[in-house]
A and B are shown apart, each in its own frame.
Chain A
Amino acid sequence: MQQPNKLSPFFENLNFERDDNTMVINFGPQHPSAHGQLRLVLELDGEQVVKAYPDIGYLHRGIEKMAENMTYNEFLPTTDRLDYIASTSNNYAYALAVEKLLGIEAPRRAQVIRTILLELNRLISHLFFIATHALDVGAMSVFLYAFREREFAMDLMEDYCGARLTHSAVRIGGVPLDIPDGWMINLRNFCNKVEYELEHTYNALLQENRIWKMRLEDVGVISPEDALSWGCTGPMLRGSGIAYDIRKEEPYELYGELDFDIPVADTNDSYGRYRLYMAEMTESIKIIKQLILKYDETEPQLMAHAPQYISAPKEEIMTQNYALMQHFVLVTQGMRPPKGEVYVPTESPKGELGFYIKSEGEPYAYRLKCRAPSFFHTGLLQEILVGTYIADVVTIIGSTNIVFGEVDR
């Protein structure tokens, strides 16, 4: 018990110096390393975490509720706001789920463009990951270099669809636009640039960096059993030595005919995951380079032909009466997919992004559930943070690569 007087005032935190006492600290929701709106309540014994409680919901916008009150096409731009770092992957996951429900397939050129955009978004997301993860751990310069490259990638996205962050670059049944002139040349230059920078800048700065390795090695170890049980997907699962990539195992779009490898890390720690992200970027570049060659072989059709669900091309709408009538019905009432339910998983940069859609044959989805990888990775925090030191907490959060747009939805 303290006996405060004028010379020794009452110190609240003196209690914490007792052996049997723990300190409860509040991390976030406005912490710069909280990757958005994560609030972590940490119980500390000295500097060691005894208990961690991730508190989420600060970015909850009720996107699943909105999906029940919007037609299928209306909802698509809302999916941009899920994983806002790589929004095309959300647009795509949603569009693919609806397409599967409708039983239609995008034309070949749209598939090439979509796959390019997906991999470009993977690059954007992974560059963002490297940048912020390094910044969290304390390596400022990597952040500057990686953001420079990410800026180029966002310029490419802007040249394609006009938006830098909330792309909505995919439509149900295809893509809205063809590739603009000279875009492929810029894309190839960008790929070469990133390839060069990966080797000469990021790897040179980080890979054998003594401090980087000390901060990351054996930090945030997730055993393969835990990774499966907690529903870890994407780099979090492959970082634990389980080679499961939906692009390879359950190929969608053009991934079945592309030549790429699935990098796996078996160290289970943050350093392994960092190496994995770097390797995945190399694979993405490899995929994009193959797709650039495939583009020229395709026919110019961009949207699937399914008059019942998808509006005809603009030329037809402007020249043919029935196309215009059907377009009017589809815009004002919305498409009515068949009755049924579907769950479609895709490999987003963060992991398995899946949409479960329950349709009752109405223009509004009866229920839409977005399976967001970050949601489950946040749940995992309550277990892997226990026993680590407070200095590693930020490293581990950074290494899980969670984005709060899709955690809270």
Chain B
Amino acid sequence: MRKYVPKDNVQKQSYYTDRFHVVPSTPREEVSTDEAFAKHLETLSAKVEIKSSRIELGSMVVEINHEDNYKALEILRDECGYAMLSEMSAVDYLAKDGNFEVFYQLLNLKEVKRMRLVMRIEQGLAVESVVPLYKAANFAEREMFDMFGIVANNHPFMKRILMPDDWEGHPLLKTYPLHGDEFASWYEVDKIFGKEAREAIGPENRDPARIDRYDTKRFSRVGYEVPFGADISEGETKTEIEYSKTFLVDYTKDSGEQLENRK
């Protein structure tokens, strides 16, 4: 029977997991253990609904509803001093929870505090763009759209950024295979030579370790060597291995007799 491969997550999976392995968690603390973070959280919670909050490995993580992202970031920037948006992107949880996690990594330069604002958003919904607050989000939101297909509303230039404009699919989704999908394998052939050249050229090989069984120009089978470029679709004959007869003992010939002699 063929092994079941989940379709909603085609990324590489561990081939072996100990049944009794309990996954530990990183140490997490209450926000109240840190004075500055507690103050920021208090300011934020006065105006925005907080779903959960914690301190994980030195930075505060606050989860909010995705509708509140602009309001929350505005408060964090203007009232809590998080002047810089270091990074924002998403994590694909479609297979597990049916949604994305969007995170905003913020930095408060005066108090030297870093926090992460996270929110869950269903597929197909858009987030509000935060470009008016942080211009750094300009490129970051475009990248998020490019990689996950999450649109940012009111973004000044919501176009793909790393992939070509006419690309189909969003590469960082868990459903997208590492070596590209069907569209990816034909993209360059279609673009450069046209669709009519598909048959002559064939799909692009995106796996550099792939070996074509019938390619005699780059590969040769040990024991079945044939001339360069020979057609072996009908099968090839076994080539006898010839041993050096100059200084090695030839055990292929009269080996029984020779072995007898050695006894």
Q: Is A60 part of the contact surface with B, judged by Cβ < 8 Å?
A: yes
> Are A369 and B89 CB-contacts (below 8 A) given A336-B23, A343-B105, A379-B139?
yes
A51 to B67, CA, bound (A): 33
Q: Which of A325-382 contact B (CB under 8 A)?
A: 333-334, 336, 338-343, 345, 352, 354, 356, 358, 360-364, 366-367, 369, 371, 375-376, 378-380, 382
Judge whether B172 and A101 touch: CB under 8 Å: no
Judge whether A101 and B26 touch: CB under 8 Å: yes
Q: Is B171 part of the contact surface with A, judged by Cβ < 8 Å?
A: yes
> Are A379 and B112 CB-contacts (below 8 A) given A60-B163, A101-B57, A356-B105?
no
Q: Of B57, B164, B176, which is within 8 A of A57 by CB?
A: B164
Which chain B residues border A379 with CB–CB below 8 Å? 135-136, 138-139
In the complex, the chain B residue whose C-beta lies closest to that of A97 is B57
Judge whether B13 and A340 touch: CB under 8 Å: no
Judge whether B25 and A339 touch: CB under 8 Å: yes
Write the nearest CB–CB distance from A330 to chain B, whole angstroms.
13
Question: Which among B56, B109, B135, B147 has the highest number of chain A CB atoms within 10 Å?
Answer: B135
A354 to B23, CA, bound (A): 25
Which chain B residues border A382 with CB–CB below 8 Å? 138
Which chain B residues border A383 with CB–CB below 8 Å? 135
Judge whether B162 and A343 touch: CB under 8 Å: no
A138 to B223, CA, bound (A): 61
A233 to B163, CA, bound (A): 25
> Are A228 and B105 CB-contacts (below 8 A) given A336-B21, A343-B59, A366-B91?
no
Which listed segment binds B: A65-73, A141-149, A264-272?
Answer: A65-73
Instruction: Annotate B42-79 by CB proximity to A: 1 below 8 A, 0 otherwise.
Output: 00000000000000110101000000000000000000
Question: Which among B27, B143, B147 has the highest number of chain A CB atoms within 10 Å?
Answer: B143
Tell me how many residue pairs across A and B have CB atoms closer than 8 Å: 129
Judge whether A342 and B105 touch: CB under 8 Å: no
Q: Is A229 part of the contact surface with B, judged by Cβ < 8 Å?
A: yes
Q: Is A249 part of the contact surface with B, judged by Cβ < 8 Å?
A: yes
Q: Of B28, B139, B160, B178, which is within 8 A of A378 by CB?
A: B139
Which chain A residues border B189 with CB–CB below 8 Å? none
Judge whether A364 and B87 touch: CB under 8 Å: no
Q: Is A255 part of the contact surface with B, judged by Cβ < 8 Å?
A: no
Q: Is B86 part of the contact surface with A, judged by Cβ < 8 Å?
A: yes
Judge whether B135 and A226 touch: CB under 8 Å: yes
Q: Is B158 part of the contact surface with A, judged by Cβ < 8 Å?
A: no
A66 to B24, CA, bound (A): 25
Q: Of A57, A244, A250, A361, which is within 8 A of B162 by CB?
A: A57
Judge whether B24 and A338 touch: CB under 8 Å: yes
A336 to B15, CA, bound (A): 13
A101 to B25, CA, bound (A): 10
Q: Of B23, B24, B116, which is within 8 A of A343 by CB?
A: B116
Write the nearest CB–CB distance from A159 to chain B, whole angstroms.
31
Q: Is A176 part of the contact surface with B, judged by Cβ < 8 Å?
A: no
> Are A68 and B11 CB-contacts (below 8 A) given A338-B26, A361-B23, A378-B139?
yes
Q: Is A230 part of the contact surface with B, judged by Cβ < 8 Å?
A: yes
> Are A340 and B136 CB-contacts (below 8 A) given A69-B12, A371-B105?
no
Judge whether A333 and B161 touch: CB under 8 Å: no
Judge whether A103 and B14 touch: CB under 8 Å: no
Judge whether A228 and B23 touch: CB under 8 Å: no
Instruction: Annotate A82-107 by CB proximity to B: 1 below 8 A, 0 otherwise.
Output: 00000000000000000011010000
Q: Is A169 part of the contact surface with B, judged by Cβ < 8 Å?
A: no
Which chain B residues border A356 with CB–CB below 8 Å? 87, 89, 103, 105
Q: Is A242 part of the contact surface with B, judged by Cβ < 8 Å?
A: yes
Write the nearest CB–CB distance from B165 to chain A, whole angstroms.
10
A338 to B61, CA, bound (A): 17
In the complex, the chain A residue whose C-beta lies closest to that of B146 is A57
> Are A338 and B23 CB-contacts (below 8 A) given A229-B134, A375-B139?
yes
A194 to B103, CA, bound (A): 43
Q: Of A242, A341, A364, which is within 8 A of B11 by CB?
A: A364
Judge whether B12 and A343 touch: CB under 8 Å: no
Q: A69-B11, A339-B23, A356-B87 are in contact. List 14 more A-B contacts (CB 8 A).
A: A62-B171, A64-B147, A103-B27, A230-B136, A231-B84, A231-B85, A339-B24, A340-B28, A356-B89, A361-B23, A362-B13, A375-B139, A379-B139, A408-B162
8 inter-chain pairs at a CB distance below 8 angstroms, sorted by A residue, are: A56-B161, A56-B162, A231-B87, A244-B109, A334-B14, A354-B87, A366-B91, A380-B135
The 8 residue pairs across chains A and B that have the minimum distance between CB atoms? A340-B26, A231-B136, A361-B23, A379-B139, A57-B162, A371-B87, A69-B12, A338-B24
Q: Which residues of B contact A (CB under 8 A)?
A: 11-16, 21, 23-28, 56-57, 59, 61, 83-87, 89, 91-92, 103, 105, 107, 109, 112, 114, 116, 134-136, 138-140, 143, 147, 160-164, 171-172, 176, 178
